[in-house]
């Protein structure tokens, strides 16, 4: 059927109308797109440029250089050494297992290392570098560098690692660093972001731990350009962090080394303190350990050996050890009685070798007794009965009050780990601790430093320094930070009577310098350096009545861990006190035989500034002393060579 002209014209009009409508719609759509494009490209250009920049630029933290630790004379105690290491970045490596397999052909990687690497890779972002191997030799490091093109994601790096050049000498004082643990992070409410860098190390014990914020410094950062999949293309900008601040300790490294060698294989502790400033000159705990083992990652075998050693090398006996002070405590009991006016230096008591109280007999160490004893004799010959008698009159509360006044039963604030408060008991303490009333027998035991009384070598040194000066000397370990000396407040007077202190000091002088004194054999020949002190022997086992009847078993016939502790406290010179010293030898037997000779050598080393001359010792001892000092010199040389080889 043919269409009419009218139909054709109408059809054309419809087509034109639709074309116009479609054309208009298209124009409108392009207009909207144009407006939108202008809005995005012009008005929001800065915002999108910033987003693009953030996608292109990454920020990474740069660990700060840890502050150094020196002794009082500038000898390096804890430093940083170059550390060659290799890292891998999971995102860049692709097939991580294949890359690690190739690495094992170049450098030593144990199965334990491999487990740790994979654990770290799983825990961290794909873009975070993970340490594969640490402390590599230059040869192994070079192998990785040369084969870098075939090891995608692997980066050889040169960093810094903590190092302790004096090895065992400062292991307990300075401590060591180790990788940040989950516990470390939990202990900090708002942890520094640098602590989350894999394998970043912080102080674990000792000065390293307690001065962590000072030593750590603040992290730097670098801006790196990455491609669209996150691979590093180049470094754009670097801002180095602020290094940690350096510390200078009060300890003399050479004196510390001498005393550590002098303690030898004993389970022992020695503290030397300046009585006028409170500065700790030496703080030696034996045996020590190599802190570098912990920095490098100690093996289970090495750690087990340290833990199973009955001499407890990981324990800092100078501040952590709490021991019955034995007869070194007698000065506290005597001063309490003097200050209360209950005795004078001339007051006497008779010692038959024991004191009977109720149905119990409290024995003196000298079975036959000391006869009539005044204060000076009670100290020089260490009569126990004298103190049993005066303690009943003065009472435990006054004795405890004097003990705290002299620095016992107090936690001294030093940047060291596990500082013991000790125990300076009184009536309220026993009621609170054990729910029991205090008894006279408890006072009698406490009067000679037994029973509940416990003190650390540090506390006993503070006690001795306060007796020597009559002032509330406070121990200090940090001498300067970044070269700026730490404030040195003047010690306040204790408020004790000059007569009482003079009597106690006189008794301590007789301990060392009269023939019946318990430490006469450890006297110093040079009167200008005359030594005053007190020996102590503290029991670690009960002696039964049956054993006393048949004769007390001597220490050398007992197993080591059942022998008495040997103690000694003293100061020198007597006329012008400069240094106080405490020595504790665990299970060493008698204080006069085991502890006093070590204390004499230690105090002479400090006073002379070198290994003591033979003239400092009594003439009849010089042959033996010369042999001992020559052996000690040889040992010091060996220790120095061993330390250098480990370094």
pLDDT at 10: 67
Q: Cα separations (Å) of 205 from 170, 173, 524, 572?
A: 12, 8, 37, 32
pLDDT at 105: 84
Q: Are 412 and 458 in contact (CB under 8 A)?
A: yes
Written as six digits, the tokens of 400 are 């405890």
Question: Residue 291 and residue 298: Cα distance in Å, rounded?
Answer: 9
Element (H, E) at 262: helix 253-263
Please report where in the chains the tokens 């490294």 appear, as a residue: 253
The gap between the terminal CA atoms of the chain, to the nearest Å, is 111
H runs (alpha helix) in 381-531:
384-394, 396-405, 427-434, 440-447, 457-469, 498-513
Q: Is 357 helix (H, G, I), strand (E, B) or coil?
A: strand
pLDDT at 545: 62
pLDDT at 372: 97
pLDDT at 221: 77
Written as six digits, the tokens of 487 are 């404030």
Look up the CATH number of domain 59-249: 3.90.1310.10
Query: Per-domain residue ranges for the chain?
Result: 59-249, 253-302+314-478+488-646
Question: Residue 596 and residue 613: Cα distance in Å, rounded?
Answer: 18
Question: Residue 447 and residue 324: Cα distance in Å, rounded?
Answer: 11
Active site residues: 327
Q: How many helices (H) and strands (E) would you count in the chain?
A: 24, 21
pLDDT at 238: 77
Q: For the segment 277-330, what is each residue's pLDDT rounded down to a tens digit?
A: 999 999 999 999 999 999 877 888 899 999 999 999 999 999 999 999 999 999
Return the exposure string of 509-528: e unless at least 16 CB atoms fall within 10 Å of the residue's CB, then b: bbbbbeeebbbbbbbbebee
Question: Residue 239 and residue 112: Cα distance in Å, rounded?
Answer: 36
pLDDT at 257: 96
Q: Would you identify the CATH topology of the domain 253-302+314-478+488-646?
A: Beta-lactamase (3.40.710)
- Mean pLDDT per 10-residue section of the chain, whose length is 647 residues: 64 68 73 69 59 58 89 96 82 80 85 82 76 82 82 79 92 93 83 78 94 90 62 69 94 96 95 98 96 86 92 95 96 98 96 91 92 97 97 97 97 94 96 95 96 97 98 97 94 96 97 96 95 91 63 74 91 97 94 95 96 95 94 82 54
Return the exposure string of 82-103: e unless at least 16 CB atoms fall within 10 Å of the residue's CB, then b: ebbbbbbbbbbbeebeebbeeb
Report the length, in residues, of the chain. Answer: 647
Of 587, 581, 579, nearest to 569 by C-alpha is 581
Q: Are 181 and 103 in contact (CB under 8 A)?
A: no
How many angstroms from the chain centroid is the CA of residue 271? 15
∠ at Cα 596 (592, 598), nearest 5°?
Answer: 140
């Amino acid at each position: 059927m043919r269409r009419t002209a009218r139909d054709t014209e109408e059809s054309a009009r419809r087509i034109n109308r639709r074309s116009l409508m479609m054309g208009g719609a298209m124009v409108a759509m392009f207009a909207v797109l144009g407006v939108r494009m202008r809005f995005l490209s012009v008005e929001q250009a800065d915002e999108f440029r910033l987003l693009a920049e953030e996608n292109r630029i990454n920020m990474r933290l740069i660990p700060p250089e840890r502050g150094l630790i020196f002794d009082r004379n500038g000898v390096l105690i804890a430093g940083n050494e170059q550390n060659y290491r290799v890292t891998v970045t999971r995102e860049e490596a692709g097939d991580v297992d294949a890359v690690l397999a190739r690495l094992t052909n170049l450098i030593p990687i144990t199965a334990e290392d491999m487990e740790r690497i994979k654990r770290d890779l799983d825990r961290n972002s794909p873009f975070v570098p993970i340490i594969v191997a640490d402390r590599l030799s230059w040869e192994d490091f070079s192998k990785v560098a040369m084969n870098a093109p075939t090891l995608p994601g692997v980066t050889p790096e040169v960093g810094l690692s903590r190092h302790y050049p004096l090895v065992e000498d400062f292991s307990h004082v300075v401590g060591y660093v180790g990788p940040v643990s989950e516990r470390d992070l939990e202990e900090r409410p708002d942890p520094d972001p640098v602590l989350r860098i894999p394998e970043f190390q912080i102080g674990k014990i000792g000065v390293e731990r307690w001065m962590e914020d000072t030593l750590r410094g603040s992290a730097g950062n670098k801006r790196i350009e990455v491609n669209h999949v996150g691979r590093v293309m180049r470094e754009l900008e670097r801002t180095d962090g602020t290094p940690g601040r350096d510390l200078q300790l009060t300890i003399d490294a050479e004196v510390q080394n001498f005393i550590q060698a002098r303690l030898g294989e004993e389970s022992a502790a020695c503290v030397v303190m300046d009585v006028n400033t409170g500065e700790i000159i030496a703080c030696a705990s034996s045996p020590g350990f190599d802190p570098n083992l912990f920095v490098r990652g100690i093996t289970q075998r090495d750690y087990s050996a340290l833990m199973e050693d009955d001499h407890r090398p990981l324990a800092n006996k100078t501040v952590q050890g709490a021991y019955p002070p034995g007869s070194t405590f007698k000065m506290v009991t005597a001063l309490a009685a003097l200050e209360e006016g209950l005795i004078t230096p001339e007051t006497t008591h008779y010692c038959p070798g024991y004191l009977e109280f109720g149905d119990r007999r409290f024995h003196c160490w000298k079975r036959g007794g000391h006869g009539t004893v005044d204060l000076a004799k009670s100290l020089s010959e260490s009569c126990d009965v004298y103190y049993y008698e005066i303690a009943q009159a003065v009472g435990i509360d006054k004795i405890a009050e004097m003990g705290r006044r002299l620095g016992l039963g107090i936690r001294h604030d030093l940047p060291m780990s596990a500082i013991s408060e000790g125990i300076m008991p009184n009536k309220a303490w026993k009621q609170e601790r054990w729910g029991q009333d205090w008894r006279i027998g408890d006072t009698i035991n406490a009067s000679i430093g037994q029973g509940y009384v416990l003190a650390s070598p540090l506390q006993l040194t503070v006690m001795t320094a306060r007796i020597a000066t009559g002032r509330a000397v406070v121990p200090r370990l940090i001498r300067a930070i970044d070269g700026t000396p730490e404030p040195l407040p003047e010690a306040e007077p204790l408020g004790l009577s000059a007569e009482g202190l003079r009597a106690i000091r006189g008794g301590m002088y007789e301990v060392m310098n009269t023939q019946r004194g318990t430490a006469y054999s450890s006297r110093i020949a040079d009167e200008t350096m005359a030594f005053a002190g007190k020996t102590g022997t503290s029991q670690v086992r009960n002696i039964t009545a049956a054993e006393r009847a048949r004769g007390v078993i001597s220490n050398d016939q007992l197993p080591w861990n059942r022998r008495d502790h040997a103690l000694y406290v003293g100061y020198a010179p007597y006329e012008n006190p400069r240094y106080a010293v405490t020595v504790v030898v665990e299970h060493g037997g008698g204080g006069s035989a085991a502890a006093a000779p070590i204390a004499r050598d230690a105090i002479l080393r400090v006073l002379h500034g070198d290994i003591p001359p033979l003239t400092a010792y009594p003439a009849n001892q010089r042959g033996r002393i010369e042999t001992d000092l020559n052996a000690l010199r040889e040992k010091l040389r060996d220790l120095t060579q061993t330390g250098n080889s480990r370094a």
